Amino acid sequence: VAHAYTRGGQVGEAGRVTINLLCACARELRRIPVEAWDAKCLTLCVNSYAMGRVAHERLLSRVVEEVIPPLVGGLSGMQIALVAHGLTRLKQPVPPSVWLRAQNVVEGLEDWQQITLILQSYGKNQATVMDPEALGAALGRRIRTLMASRRPAAETLPVLVYALWKSDVPVDAECWGAVGQACADVFSDEKSVRWKLSEVANMLSALTSVADPNTSPWIHDFAGGVINMLWGNPFS
């Protein structure tokens, strides 16, 4: 019920109804025995309250302290991404056990949005990440592998680049090289790049702060593409 209500986008005038309904659901959810929860229920619960922006303190403390520990070892990469993002959106610290699980499952992720969610969550939860080097290495490997087999859509790249930069995830230069090359290639592959000027500015800040112009030829291609884009749209 909580998921259906929030998934239906009950906002505006209906927002108050959603808040009341989520609070009522929370009372019932807290009564459910821990052993009755499964990974899907946990993910739906956290995601629903995150979308509804209802940080029900007593429900969340039970979920974090009692529900997550026995289930975390069986969560998939997608579920880890959604749980971490949901807790972060609710301003709840992501438990260290979730990050440890992320190390093991992140290399199975096939969806760029899920990788971006993990990056965004990591950036706001660095204090609870047990082994940032191991998680950074796993994320770096996955990003490189996916870039080689299935690059993200052009509109996804600005969000990915900004999330990777702002998160401070310790990925290697090869990972940034793969990301930067994908950004540069957009200018040669696409007839008209539809990035906003603010997105391009963020990407320039990110890529020039991590790339060495002497060893990263793609940075010149990207900068040249930006110049051509501005030259073609001087009023932007």
Tell me the per-residue pLDDT of 73-96, one tens digit each, with 9 for 90 and over: 999 999 999 999 999 999 999 999
Whether 120 and 160 have beta carbons less than 8 Å apart is answered as no
pLDDT band with cut points at 50, 70 and 90 for residue 236: low
pLDDT band with cut points at 50, 70 and 90 for residue 9: low
- Residues 117-175 have pLDDT tens digits of 999 999 999 899 989 999 999 999 999 999 999 999 999 999 999 999 999 999 999 99
Q: At residue 38, does pLDDT exceed 60?
A: yes
Q: How many residues does the chain have?
A: 236
If you ran DSSP here, which 8-state letter would residue 35 be given? G
- Phi first, then psi: give them for residue 3, nearest 5 degrees: -65, -45
Q: What is the pLDDT of residue 6?
A: 78
pLDDT top residue among 195 and 7 = 195
pLDDT top residue among 22 and 143 = 143
Q: Cα-Cα-Cα-Cα dihedral of 222, 206, 150, 129, to 10°?
A: 170
